[in-house]
Amino acid sequence: MKQYISQNSVFKNSAWTWSDKRQQWYLRQFLEVQPDLNFRNPKVREALKNVLIFYMDMGIDGFRVDAVPYLVEDKLLRDEPRSNDPTQEPNDHDYLDHIYTMNTDETYDVVYEFRDIVENYTKEHGGDARILMSEAYAPLDKTMRYYGTANGSRLGAHFTFNFFFVGPNLNTSNAYTFESLVYEWIDNLPSIYVSNWDMGNHDNRRVTTRFGKEDVDGFNMLLHLLPGIGITYYGEEIGQEDGEVTYEQGQDPAARNRSTFEQTSRDFERTPFQWDNSTNAGFNEGNKTWLPVSEKYKETNLADEISTPGLSHYKIYKEILRKRQEDPARIGDTKIWSLSEDVLILKRSLEKTHIVVAFKLGWQNHTAPEYAFVPEIKCDTATVALTNVNSTHQIG
């Protein structure tokens, strides 16, 4: 097999590794222990088909298919051109423009075949639909293709993760940012498919850490009352923050290979869920956990949020999920707009019934929230149905 002159791993350095045992080079776009499969080989596809069926036979209802853009590489194994990004070093992944190893046409064909497998399984065995969720950090047009063709003639993942909300940060985002991101997604998604909304995941700092405790309730309201699927990364329902992990405790191989552990490690957002204030936050009964439990577990844990007499992030989260079952949130029209840099309004409407979220972004300080006026609501009465934990408004 020809060795690429130009092909870098996602985790830096060459994506080609020499095997003494086989006396061959093999491609691995991530770690050396993760050789890429040859999806052009029908035996490989058949084996993965059997993997899907094996787990569906066990009762699994769905699959999160990770790193989908990397499935199928160029048949001719052509060298990839330079990206001409001056900030990238020659051994960085983004030093190259990955036109031959990411989001190839054949990759979409594989995803469409996976969809056929799970659809046929449900038809044959009955029960609820088994679903595919694809992870693709890809340009918008390529992301949408993972859903399927625009006219639905071929179906791919039931949804591909919408990471638009994962990107914004305190330095560059405001209410206008989020308004724009919502409409950019909705306007580009073919109407036959279902939107989804996601604020955090295992590769990015937690929502509470990125934006602050005062905003986690507002973002949960926003995500779960927008039309479509609301996605929760564990801990967002209780306002869990990033944990504390030293280099010696770290497990993320991508970060341990670098001198920038604090900046690049994904361990901080992966620390265990904080169930209660017992040993290891109730996560296990052993001497330690794979990653250390955050020191914040005694002040933020599920048991305390359940038992507290007043509002908590968890109680608010549960009430949001009840509100999303109401008809305006389920099938109503959607409008989202910014009153200022720091006040974002979401309205879901069905006939004369409205659900309105008025979200004052905590890191912006331009508008006094008690004076924010919500236009376009014409009704005789309006009731405060839910607030965040720090609100001065009274429910009812």
Instruction: Read off the CATH number of the domain in which 207 is found.
Output: 3.20.20.80
Residue 247, classed as helix, strand or coil, is coil
pLDDT at position 390 is 87
Q: Which residue has the tokens 């050396």?
A: 32
In a domain, 135, yes or no: yes
Gap between the Cα atoms of 102 and 105, Å rounded: 9
In a domain, 28, yes or no: no
**Cβ–Cβ under 8 Å, residues 364 and 174:** yes
**Residue 145's domain spans which residues?**
47-71+111-307
**Cβ–Cβ under 8 Å, residues 305 and 237:** no
In a domain, 7, yes or no: no
pLDDT at position 227 is 97
In a domain, 296, yes or no: yes
pLDDT at position 170 is 81
For 173-224, what is each residue's pLDDT tens digit? 999 999 999 999 999 999 999 999 999 999 999 999 999 999 999 999 999 9
CA torsion, ordered 223, 224, 227, 228, to nearest 10 deg: 100
pTM of the model: 0.91
pLDDT at position 376 is 65
Q: Which residue has the tokens 């094996």?
A: 54
- What b/e sequence results for 298-321 when a residue is b if at least 16 CB atoms lie within 10 Å of its CB, and e otherwise? eebbbbbbeeeeebbbbbbbebbe
How many CB atoms neighbour CB 150 within 10 A? 13
Could you tell me which of 233, 108, 80 has the C-alpha nearest to residue 163? 233
Options 66, 94, 116, 299, the catalytic residue: 66
Active site residue 215: no
Domains of the chain: total: 1
Residue 334, classed as helix, strand or coil, is strand
| 19, 20, 76, 161 from 23: Cα distances, Å | 5, 5, 21, 39
In a domain, 340, yes or no: no
Active site residue 135: yes
In a domain, 12, yes or no: no
Gap between the Cα atoms of 146 and 281, Å rounded: 38
Options 80, 135, 215, 342, the catalytic residue: 135
pLDDT beneath 50: ranges in the chain: 1-5
In a domain, 301, yes or no: yes
For 227-267, what is each residue's pLDDT tens digit? 999 999 999 999 999 999 999 999 998 887 667 899 889 99
In a domain, 205, yes or no: yes
Gap between the Cα atoms of 361 and 207, Å rounded: 13
**Cβ–Cβ under 8 Å, residues 130 and 56:** yes
| 75, 210, 323, 387 from 214: Cα distances, Å | 51, 11, 21, 11
